[in-house]
Amino acid sequence: MQRNTLSAERRILITGGAGFIGSHVVRRFVKNYPQYRIINLDALTYAGNLENLRDVEKAPNYTFVKADICDAVAVAMVFTEHAIDGVIHLAAESHVDRSISDPMAFVTTNVIGTVTLLNVAREAWKDRLSGHSPLSSGEGRGEVRFYHVSTDEVYGSLHDDSLFLESTPYDPQSPYSASKAASDHFVRAYGNTYKLPFVVSNCSNNYGSHHFPEKLIPLMINNIRNNKPLPVYGKGENVRDWLWVEDHASAIDAVFHKGVNGETYNIGGHNEWKNIDLVHLLCRIMDQKLGRAEGESAKLITYVTDRAGHDLRYAIDASKIERDLGWKPSITFEVGLERTVDWYLANTEWLDHVTSGAYLRYYEVQYAR
Ligand code: NAD
Ligand code: DAU
């Protein structure tokens, strides 16, 4: 397999770029690669928010397209109009609890949406893939690449002290992880069957700014500031391996530019926390930031019914990406968590906005076709 080389100009489609991780990836690529054209395609579901990209929306190398990845015609138009030669695919339904109450939405976006995107890419790139295009050989504009951003949850749940490796067999346990596993399999199947050049990465839990406050860390921060109960599922003993979102974005940059076609890269922070310990840490930080007495916020902790089929532990062995691509996390959890809390406290309007009905109505009106 060939190492993908950097070309001077790229026309990259980033899907899901208005979401949590996607907005950090879009910002990084728009700012660090002015010679690229970045097309952000996003359906603006409840989780997508163009406010996340205010600082780059007027950049000359940035375009936003509101479209659904399941809409083959709309996606094909974007490929044609912008002569897309690289895809970084992040658009997904991403919340495990929602997948338990509405699995079909996850099948639709994560599986059918991904296969729709693969079909469009295959059709748009068919001359280059068959070698019939003058652009299909050598370095530069002939190179195409489909990068699928996935999750460590496809590997299932750890019940000992081992780590997920790239070779760990898939064993998804929730409707969300089953849908992501299916999409990973389709990407690899298109690589094998149609010779579509692809890379896949599987990352652990991200945290940082612009994270929708239904996920553990922003939900707890938002509830602490509003003096609302902090719902800890089960006994709070489940373990997650947390990575700062901007370090995930830098890993995605490394995989897109330096990853080997057909390969998978695990991404993680070597940073395991039991949920209850993490919630206590957040309570201590918030007590300090809000000038509350020590122990005040922790009184809000409320143990609630466990998540159905709750995976016990995730933990990533990231040695392959560290060794092969020279990537490693840039900051410690202590620094990242404090930055994160500071961001939410400085952006309480964002928190109030994305959790309000007004937000949903605004986007329905603003972007209705
Ligand atoms: P998110 O829910 O914050 O954002 C998802 C984005 O996709 C939103 O902007 C949404 O509007 C868009 N979207 C949803 N359905 C769409 C559709 N049908 N068509 C077009 N756009 C659509 O998600 P996130 O946490 O930023 O995750 C991004 C990707 O990274 C996902 O593929 C997820 O599986 C993966 N991932 C997430 C984490 C994590 O900790 N958050 C970890 C590893 C991998
Ligand atoms: O591992 C990567 C995955 O991490 C991503 O693929 C998913 O898109 C992302 O949402 C995340 O999944 P989790 O289910 O691990 O994240 P969540 O923030 O929902 O929950 C983290 C842990 O906290 C989990 O053990 C459940 C628990 N939890 C969560 C919520 C929302 C609670 O105890 N209480 C809560 O209110």
Structural domains present in the chain: 11-208+242-270+311-332 (3.40.50.720)
Q: For residue 108, what pLDDT is reported?
A: 98
**pLDDT tens digits for range 313-360:** 999 999 999 999 999 999 999 999 999 999 999 999 999 999 987 555
Tell the residue nearest (CA) to atom 21 of ligand 2.
216
Q: For residue 193, what pLDDT is reported?
A: 97
- Ligand 1 contact via 74 beta carbon (within 6 Å): no
**With pLDDT > 70 as the criterion, what percentage of the chain qualifies?**
92
Side-chain half-sphere exposure of 283, counting CA atoms within 13 A: 22
**pLDDT tens digits for range 287-315:** 999 999 999 999 999 999 999 999 999 99
- Ligand 1 contact via 21 beta carbon (within 6 Å): yes
Q: For residue 128, what pLDDT is reported?
A: 85
Stretch 14-26: mean pLDDT = 98
Ligand number nearest CA of 316 is 2
Catalytic option among 93, 143, 152, 311 = 152
Residue 332: other Cβ atoms inside 10 A: 12
Tell the residue nearest (CA) to atom 19 of ligand 2.
215
Task: Indicate the Cα dihedral angle 71, 27, 243, 106, nearest 10°.
Answer: -10
Q: How buried is residue 119: exposed, middle or buried, by Cβ count under 10 Å (0-12/13-18/19+)?
A: middle
Residues in the ligand 2 pocket, defined by CB under 6 Å: 94-96, 151-153, 204-205, 215-216, 219, 231-233, 238, 240, 275, 307, 314
98 pLDDT above the threshold of 90: yes
Stretch 30-38: mean pLDDT = 97
To the query of whether residue 143 is one of the catalytic residues in this protein, the response is: no
Q: For all residues of the chain together, what is the average pLDDT?
A: 93
**pLDDT tens digits for range 43-75:** 999 999 999 999 999 999 999 999 999 999 999
**With pLDDT > 90 as the criterion, what percentage of the chain qualifies?**
89
C-alpha angle with apex 229: 232 to 344, nearest 5 degrees? 90
136 pLDDT above the threshold of 90: no
Q: Are 304 and 232 in contact (CB under 8 A)?
A: yes
CA 10 to chain centroid, in Å, comes to 21
Q: For residue 138, what pLDDT is reported?
A: 38
To the query of whether residue 334 is one of the catalytic residues in this protein, the response is: no
Ligand 2 atom with the shortest distance to the CA of 217:
18
Catalytic option among 42, 85, 143, 153 = 153
- Ligand 1 contact via 87 beta carbon (within 6 Å): no
Stretch 33-50: mean pLDDT = 97
Count of residues in the chain: 369
Stretch 222-233: mean pLDDT = 98
Structure-block tokens of residue 161 = 């002290």
Q: For residue 130, what pLDDT is reported?
A: 83
272 forms beta bridges with 241
**How do beta strands 205-207 and 239-244 pair?**
parallel
Q: For residue 266, what pLDDT is reported?
A: 98
Which residue in 274, 267, 278, 275 sits closest to 204, CA to CA? 267
Tell the residue nearest (CA) to atom 34 of ligand 2.
232
Catalytic option among 176, 190, 207, 233 = 176
To the query of whether residue 152 is one of the catalytic residues in this protein, the response is: yes
CA distance 357 to 349: 14
63 forms beta bridges with 39
